[in-house]
Amino acid sequence: MSADQKLYEGKAKILYSTDDPEVLLTRFKDDATAFNAQKRGSIRGKGEINCAISTHLFRLLEARGIQTHFIDRPAPTEMRVRAVKIVPLEVVVRNIAAGSLCHQTGLPLGMVLPKPLVEFYYKNDSLGDPLLTRDRLLLLELATPDQVDQLNAKALQINEILSDFFQQCGITLVDFKLEFGLDSAQTLLLADEISPDTCRLWDQSASDPRQRVLDKDRFRHDLGNVETAYQQVLERVLAQTVEV
């Protein structure tokens, strides 16, 4: 199976067609962007690390009954995935207040939320990925009411599985972003990636708030040691076997 035509180049990944129209190939890049691509850089080894972490987490979720686009990982930075039509929503799940939730509501950084919060953002760079209400999302016909309910339920289920998993790694899953796609049978599959680029991950063994950050916030806020943090997540994730 060889990579064929480049279909799309995003900030962190390139998508290629393959000789099977139902299968695409994703190549993970070392490039990093933040703040709607206003900050750009590169994190050495990130493509391989994020591909490996995403692979492990997709396998874990599949083993727990969550349908994903993941097929296999034919090379260190490559993932074969099922072709889906991406729903233009970023589904964010939060367990602890951080990032835009703090900026927009005044909640203190690190506050444990009484229950997980699911939010929908419009995946639209020119509009700056705005936060949507359910009614706005339906108005824009980004998903059907039934799909919104399914996305909400799946996001919460994924949060339970991933929170438990990261807990075993000595890592707190603060928040994360998911993307979903529809396959040819109109089934919602978890798509994109799950990695330190898309999750906030705090090391439970670090007391200093700057030291505990093991995710893209190290790049966003110039905290240094970005590669080491990503590598640390990879090692801890791979140390936990996935029971199928």
Q: Which is nearer to ligand UDP, 99 or 116 (CB)?
A: 99
Question: How far apart, in whole angstroms, are the C-alpha atoms of residue 120 and residue 123?
Answer: 9
The least distance separating ligand UDP from the CB of residue 241, rounded to whole angstroms, comes to 25
Residue that the structure tokens 């396959």 belong to: 183
Q: Which is nearer to ligand UDP, 21 or 106 (CB)?
A: 106
The least distance separating ligand UDP from the CB of residue 126, rounded to whole angstroms, comes to 14
Asked whether 165 and 155 are in contact (CB, 8 A), the reply is no
The CA R_g of the chain, rounded to the nearest whole Å, is 17
Q: Which is nearer to ligand UDP, 78 or 119 (CB)?
A: 119
Closest residue to ligand UDP, based on beta-carbon distance:
99
The least distance separating ligand UDP from the CB of residue 37, rounded to whole angstroms, comes to 10
Tell how far CA 105 is from the center of its chain.
23
> Which residues form the interface with ligand UDP (CB under 6 A)?
90, 92, 98-101, 129, 175-177, 198-200, 216
The least distance separating ligand UDP from the CB of residue 5, rounded to whole angstroms, comes to 26
* C-alpha closest to that of 65 among 189, 173, 169: 189
Q: Which is nearer to ligand UDP, 78 or 192 (CB)?
A: 192
The DSSP 8-state label assigned to residue 125 in this structure reads G
